[in-house]
């Protein structure tokens, strides 16, 4: 056995295989840029656990937070607002 083992002439670089992680699993905080697992974000009621930034909630998300599951019945879904200032025609 040699006293000074010879160095290999080349180095084997192990390249980690890029795993397919779906983009919808993680959300980046708009305030502190923390990467938050979406399940954790939902458990925290859409509030960043690091900086307490409140993410926007859609109408359906808000209803799901407030109303007992399966009890919400939407009424007059086809109802439209009046446009007294003619904003839509501009």
Check binding of 50 to Zn ion (CB under 5 A). Answer: yes
Check binding of 55 to Zn ion (CB under 5 A). Answer: no
Stretch that binds Zn ion, among 12-20, 27-35, 55-63, 64-72 (CB under 5 A): 27-35
Check binding of 26 to Zn ion (CB under 5 A). Answer: no
Check binding of 48 to Zn ion (CB under 5 A). Answer: yes
User: Least Å distance between CB 34 and Zn ion?
Assistant: 5
DSSP string, the chain: --SSPPPPSS-PPPPPP-----GGGEEE-TTT--EEEHHHHHHTTTB-TTT-PBPP--HHHHHHHHSPTT------TT-----TT--TT-
Residues that bind Zn ion (CB under 5 A): 29, 31-32, 34, 48, 50-51, 53
């Amino acid at each position: 056995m040699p006293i000074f083992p010879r160095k290999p002439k080349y180095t084997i670089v192990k390249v980690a295989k890029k795993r397919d992680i779906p983009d919808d699993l993680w959300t980046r905080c708009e305030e502190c840029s923390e990467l938050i697992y979406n399940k954790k974000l939902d458990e925290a009621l859409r509030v960043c656990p690091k900086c307490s930034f409140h993410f926007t909630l859609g109408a359906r998300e808000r209803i799901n937070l407030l109303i007992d599951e399966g009890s919400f019945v939407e009424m007059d879904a086809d109802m439209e607002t009046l446009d007294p200032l003619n904003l839509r025609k501009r």
